[in-house]
Amino acid sequence: MEKYTVEGHSDLARNPQNGSIVNVNKIEYEQYLARREVKSEKTKKVQNLEDELASMKGDIDEIKLLLRELLNGPR
């Protein structure tokens, strides 16, 4: 498929069939993919930490309840 360069932008080309503009710089595209993967991994890590923290909070609440029951007897 033939593409036409965009004036003033050597990394961009226009598809004559649908008029879309695409980035033809493969290095830039690979860098974008790498940045997106790093961001995705960071997001997953944060989500895992939040889930673990919520679980620990639940465990602490349960321990506090059990300690209260030991001190005061069952409610």
In whole angstroms, give the CA distance from residue 16 to residue 22.
Answer: 11
pLDDT at 1: 65
Q: C-alpha dihedral over 58, 63, 69, 71, to 10 degrees? A: -140
In whole angstroms, give the CA distance from residue 27 to residue 68.
Answer: 61
User: Is the model's pLDDT at 45 over the cut of 80?
Assistant: yes
pTM over 0.75: no
Q: Taking residues 64-68, report their average pLDDT.
A: 94
User: Is the model's pLDDT at 36 over the cut of 70?
Assistant: yes
Number of domains in the chain: 1
Q: What percent of the chain has pLDDT over 70?
A: 96
Segment holding 55, helix H or strand E = helix 26-72
pLDDT at 74: 62
Domain extent at residue 64: 4-72
